[in-house]
Amino acid sequence: MGSHRRLAPSGFDRGAGAALSVLSVATAALGAVPSSAAPHGDTRAEVDRLYREAEQATEAYDKADERTDRLREEVGDARDRIARQQQRINTMRDSLGAVAGAQYRSGGLAPAVALLLSDDPDDYLDRATTLDRIGARQSDRLTRLQSAMRELSRERARTAGKLAELEKSRKEVAARKRAVEKKLARARQLLNSLPAAERAAYVRASRSGRGGISELFGATAPNARAAAAVAAARSALGRPYVWGANGPSAFDCSGLTQWAYAQAGVHLPRTSQEQRYAGRQVPLSQARPGDLVVYRSDAGHVGMYAGNGQVIHAPYPGAPVRYDPVGMMPISSVTRP
């Protein structure tokens, strides 16, 4: 499951504990439903469906969150440009005022009067030429000031548009967040309604391979960057799944792969749908450690191939970063960054 601000950890990693707390409170408030509410097989299928939908909602959330971060940066940059342009305009105004004052003091007289007051016609001509140059320079400065003021006005209008777009994106993030929390709380409620043995069976089933892909044993990374990314992913084993988090203390699925490759100096996009195209696609039979294994037709989940028929991934809430069989769910593609 899959937001730059980027290679640095996002604000949602800092808020990982808060997200877990929200989910815990929501789960406790809902309480456990009686085990008779639905046949256990149907309950497990419903939990699977809710987790899949939560993955899709998380992908949308991550994308909206990344867009919000980008807009926030753009607005900050625009404000800096506006401040610099305003300072430039203030300086130009001061300069124009100084030139106008000097011209008034030295050349405010009509040329004929200045000539009468001058003892030396040659001196008058020199002064007249200087005043002409001052006038031309003042006119040029005025033109540049007007141009700068027009550009400042345009920049302010663009920034106002960015601010409106940012506010819209913030609202979208909040809506996506509510959708994910609702689905995850319901999934946890249903899972808790199962007897302990059934819950354990569900966990085991979530780790079982499908399609007989255990014959994949490639254990050598294709390059040093992939090897470094695999080492980083292995260092995250056991850390909690938190939707919207991309390390270093918690992860969602695409957050883990993005963070692991960032430790190798490689930037990956934030969501699993985007990561699917962040490199060269290779056949599953040629998978090597460090390759990104993307799951389901909607590319809603991603893991990192670790060799020996295993992937490292962040599965879902309550399940930490771990190894699982590469064929644990239908594979959509394999990408080599």
CA-CA-CA-CA dihedral for 248, 250, 254, 255, to nearest 10 = -40
Q: Which two tokens stand for residue 85?
A: 């342009």
* Distance, first Cα to last Cα, the chain: 18
> Rounded CA gap, 78 and 162, in Å?
9
- The catalytic position among 4, 40, 253, 267 is 253
- The catalytic residue among 4, 40, 267, 301 is 301
Residue 31 contacts by C-beta under 8 Å, 6 or more apart in sequence?
189
Which of 4, 40, 267, 313 is labelled catalytic?
313
* Dist. CA 177–CA 65, nearest whole Å: 10
Shortest CA distance to 168 belongs to which of 71, 81, 254? 71
Alpha carbons within 13 angstroms on the beta-carbon side of residue 309 total 14
Nearest to 87 by CA among 79, 99, 97: 79
d(CA 329, CA 333): 12
Does the annotation count 253 as an active-site position?
yes
Of 15, 41, 316, residue with least CA distance to 184: 316
292: β partners: 304, 335
Provide the b/e sequence for 174-194 (b: ≥16 CB within 10 Å): eebbebbbbbbbbbbbbbebb
Q: CA 58, CA 12: separation in Å to the nearest integer?
A: 12
Q: Which residues of 283-308 are buried (b: 16+ CB within 10 A; e: fewer)?
A: ebeebbbbbbbbbeeebbbbbbbbbe
- The b-or-e profile of 31-59 (16+ CB within 10 A means b, else e) is eeeeeeeeebeebbeebbebbbbbbbbbb
Instruction: Give the residue numbers marked as catalytic.
Output: 253, 301, 313
